[in-house]
Amino acid sequence: MAVTDLVLEGGGAKLPGLVGAVNALTSADYSIHRIAGTSAGAIVGALTTAGIPPESLVETVLDKDFTDFEDLNPVFDLVPWLGKIQGLLFHKGMYLGTAIHDFLDDALAAQGIRTWGDLRLDDPDSALPPPPPPERQYRLVVIVSDVSRGRMLRLPWDYQSALGVNPDSQSVAEAVCASAATPFFFRPRSLPADPSVAGGDSVLGADGGLLSNFPVGIFDRKDEKPARWPTLGVMLSARETAETQWRPNANTYQYAVSLLSTMINAHDRRHIDEPSVTDRTIFVDTADHSSTDFALTRTDKLDLIDSGDTAAMEFLSTWDWQTWKERYDRR
């Protein structure tokens, strides 16, 4: 059985594409050691590292009505448009985010996972400085944007140093929900903090994709030892060429969209364009779907799952770990 670490890109409602890719990897006898993810990648990563079999996760995704996640204050059940405006104006997001939190909390609890202490990983031979610091000994890492202080959080790694709290007592579901809190769609999450460290007793955590939607290098070794196994990535887009990356910016609207895309993607783009990264990344073509359209039919979900499965199998048909190491990592 081959071993790999995995990095999952964020993509909102395109989440089934990640599930399809993960299912294909495990069906091909890959054992996933650790997962890092942002937004939808954080959700799939949490459910996978909690021990839910990928084939069961496929059924869960197919059975779940994603529009349940678009939860409004019940006061506005008869006038949902007013509830969206009220949430956006007074709570920084149209939807409560309670439904996603409860879904995750229940699914994780069924696997015996509630706090980060339940996701501890004993890995003395990791790339981290010997002995590996306890704040990094976990099976999962999720990316969150700390909008209170304008910085990226890698949770649970940064709980102690950046927030001054013990990671083992913090909720996994809460951190994942923060990572998935798409700006203006879902309310940001309040993460507890020590005022002497963070400057306040909490920080607002929002979509990690604002700062790093594909943290592909997070598990790469920084010492002189050779990597024990690869870190593979899964992106929810087809591999881009110079032509598909180019934007005309013919008007103010297109220019604004390009500015937003640049702010979100530029941090990761410099890594994604490196051959050493593209050659270890599974590109799932999800062009026919929107990351913010949660009204997915079963057919839509099956299409995304099949796209993930196909992309992963095509990748594995040519992937060779030894060849990659000889080309890019000769330590």
Identify the CATH number of the domain in which residue 131 sits: 3.40.1090
Residues pairing with 232 in the sheet? 6
Q: What total of structural domains would you count in the chain?
A: 1
Residue type for 311, please?
Answer: A
Does residue 86 lie in a domain region?
no
Spell out the per-residue pLDDT of the chain, length 331, in tens.
Answer: 899 999 999 999 999 999 999 999 999 999 999 999 999 999 999 999 999 999 999 999 999 999 999 999 887 778 888 888 898 888 889 999 999 999 999 999 999 999 999 999 988 777 654 455 677 889 999 999 999 999 999 999 999 999 999 999 999 999 999 999 999 899 999 999 999 999 999 999 999 998 899 999 999 887 778 889 999 999 998 665 444 555 566 676 666 666 666 665 555 555 677 899 999 999 999 988 988 899 999 999 999 999 999 999 999 999 999 999 999 876 6
Q: Which one of 5, 105, 207, 309 is the catalytic residue?
A: 207
Does residue 20 lie in a domain region?
yes
Does residue 40 lie in a domain region?
yes
Does residue 192 lie in a domain region?
no
Does residue 128 lie in a domain region?
yes
Q: How far is CA 189 from the centre of its chain?
A: 16
Query: Which residues are CB-contacts of 55 (< 8 A; sequence separation ≥ 6)?
Result: 23
Task: Output the pLDDT for position 243.
Answer: 44
Q: Which one of 39, 126, 171, 212 is the catalytic residue?
A: 39
Confirm if 189 and 177 have CB atoms less than 8 A apart.
yes
Does residue 303 lie in a domain region?
yes
CB atoms within 10 A of CB 9: 29
Cα distance between residue 40 and residue 238, in whole Å: 17
Confirm if 145 and 211 have CB atoms less than 8 A apart.
yes
- Global pTM reads 0.91
Host domain of residue 292: 2-71+93-142+210-328
Task: Output the pLDDT for position 294.
Answer: 94
Establish whether 279 is a catalytic residue. no
Find the distance separating the first CA and the last CA of the chain, reported in whole Å. Answer: 24
Does residue 165 lie in a domain region?
no
Establish whether 202 is a catalytic residue. no
Confirm if 292 and 182 have CB atoms less than 8 A apart.
yes
Task: Output the pLDDT for position 258.
Answer: 60
Q: Which residue has the tokens 């103010």?
A: 252
Confirm if 167 and 121 have CB atoms less than 8 A apart.
no
CB atoms within 10 A of CB 65: 11
Task: Output the pLDDT for position 267.
Answer: 53
Task: Output the pLDDT for position 242.
Answer: 46
Does residue 21 lie in a domain region?
yes
Which ranges of 186-329 does DSSP label H, i.e. alpha helix?
195-198, 242-245, 252-272, 275-278, 298-318, 321-328
